[in-house]
Amino acid sequence: MHIKKHLSFDALIKDYADRVLSIIDHRREASNDYTIFDVMMSALACMYMQSPSLLAFQSQLEKRTQRNNLISMFNVHKTPKASAMKDCIDEVKPEALAPVFKTYLSKLQRNHMLKDYQFINNKYLVALDGTEYFSSKKISCDCCLTQQHKNGSCTYSHQALQAAIVSPNKKQVIPMMPEDISKKDGTKKQDCEINAAKRLIPKIRKAHPRMPMVWLADSLYATTPFIELIQSKTDDNFIFRVKEGDHKFLYDTIDGLDAKKHENTINNGKETLYYHWYENISLNASSLIKVNVLRVYSTKADRYGKKTSTIVGVWATDLIIDESSVVEIARAARARWMVENECFNILKNHGYSIDHSYGHGQKNLSFNFYTLIMLAFTLHQIHELTDKLFQQARTFYRTKRELWHGLQFLFNMMLFDSWLQMIGYAVKVRDPEFEGLRPT
């Protein structure tokens, strides 16, 4: 069995380790029991194994055997205590880990693993979506967003804007660097998703100058200044949802026009999709921006043959819509939901505990933990896409969560020399015929 050497666990962990080594330690020396390197490697291991109690298990292993799996798989020298880990990560600048996302995406591209993600004209679909990953009435820090209530109470929260490469043909989403939505150092000003997007888009473009992108986002983004930002790079495009409440002028305009039409059936003929599109429509009464508008309906028959019709969505785009592209454009537009379904939902409800904070801290802890969880999720997505051994291990478990419970148990209870040995063991116990691996 072959594995891709540059996308192997060891290679990906080395990329992360190289980045961590460049983080400058601003802590006072006297208080440093553990290096930033050991802390950041251990923190990624906790998120990767989805195990908040991982450090305690590894310390027990080390007491018994003078070794543990943090040492063998994550190159940790001295296993930190959880409290020291939190104090240290609180001090790390929020943008410190952003380059790792760039490295992983570039490697996937160089190794031809993104071919199935290419859209019309070899562009990539990048979905943007915000998420609130922390909310509390009691716990807070200086960076928390605040919402005052009439009864005098206050809700504290943290949000992030997440960009991810998606494809309607692939289940895996590939996260890009997240942008913190928070009160910045020393300011009282609240931040918001749109401002975060104005900061994030130039960063992503700078990181991937030769990746033409089609940006997918909600109605909130379908405004003149934002579309101008997207169009400031000539080979980028957008598909933004438009809602009647936000875009009354546009809705009124298309209601008075004849549409170009196309239809196709899906789900073995059980569902028909109707595509209506309108060209060169003003975004709103005062805007010079013209967009093409696509409205999609679905008609399904129930088992008694009774048909119901629903609206699938309405989108504004600067892509040319015609008979040959309309189905692809609608599928791309709908793929935006994958960030919510395949990314945030999984992070919240399938083991990663993204909203059960590992701790809050006073500065950057909350966002750094979010970023680390997103990196761990990215590593898992890369394994799913590229790692034959991991894919084989996955087939032995009913759900991904069961697989990770199995691996977590092995990681916390047994000693392994490497990740390959651990996954190989997980496969071997289920398939005694398994012969092992040859790196390519």
Kindly tell me which of 105 and 141 has the beta carbon lying closer to Zn ion: 141
CB of 190 to Zn ion, least distance (A): 13
CB of 356 to Zn ion, least distance (A): 15
What are the φ and ψ backbone dihedral angles of 300, each rounded to 5 degrees?
Answer: -125, 145
DSSP 234: T
Choose the binding region for Zn ion from 52-60, 77-85, 137-145, 321-329 (rule: CB under 5 A).
137-145
CB of 365 to Zn ion, least distance (A): 8
Site size with Zn ion, rule: CB under 5 A: 2
Of 141, 196, 314, 365, the one binding Zn ion (CB under 5 A) is 141
Q: Which residue has the tokens 């092992």?
A: 436
Kindly tell me which of 141 and 427 has the beta carbon lying closer to Zn ion: 141
Choose the binding region for Zn ion from 20-28, 48-56, 133-141, 184-192 (rule: CB under 5 A).
133-141
Choose the binding region for Zn ion from 138-146, 185-193, 337-345, 347-355 (rule: CB under 5 A).
138-146
Site for Zn ion in 285-314 (CB under 5 A): none
Structural tokens at position 141 = 């820090």
Structural tokens at position 159 = 């949000």
Kindly tell me which of 144 and 200 has the beta carbon lying closer to Zn ion: 144
Site for Zn ion in 15-74 (CB under 5 A): none
Choose the binding region for Zn ion from 27-35, 109-117, 136-144, 212-220 (rule: CB under 5 A).
136-144
DSSP string computed for 114-169? -GGGB-GGG-EEEEEEEEEEEEESS---TT-EEEE-TTS-EEEEEEEEEEEEE-TT
CB of 167 to Zn ion, least distance (A): 34
d(CA 380, CA 49): 10
Q: Are 177 and 184 in contact (CB under 8 A)?
A: no
Q: How far is CA 304 from the centre of its chain?
A: 41
d(CA 406, CA 426): 8
CB of 183 to Zn ion, least distance (A): 9
Kindly tell me which of 8 and 357 has the beta carbon lying closer to Zn ion: 357
Kindly tell me which of 144 and 374 has the beta carbon lying closer to Zn ion: 144
d(CA 108, CA 114): 6
Kindly tell me which of 187 and 391 has the beta carbon lying closer to Zn ion: 187
Asked if 144 interacts with Zn ion (CB under 5 A), we say yes
CB of 92 to Zn ion, least distance (A): 15
Asked if 145 interacts with Zn ion (CB under 5 A), we say no
402: three-class secondary structure by DSSP: helix
DSSP string computed for 31-71? G-SS-HHHHHHHHHHHHHHT-TTHHHHHHHHHHHHS--HHH
CB of 39 to Zn ion, least distance (A): 20
Q: What is the torsion angle, in degrees rounded to the nearest 10, for the CA atoms of residue 180, residue 184, residue 188 and residue 190? A: -20
Asked if 354 interacts with Zn ion (CB under 5 A), we say no
CA neighbor of 138 nearest in space, from 119, 153, 118, 117: 153
Kindly tell me which of 144 and 382 has the beta carbon lying closer to Zn ion: 144
d(CA 228, CA 351): 40
CB of 139 to Zn ion, least distance (A): 7
CB of 360 to Zn ion, least distance (A): 6
Residues that bind Zn ion (CB under 5 A): 141, 144
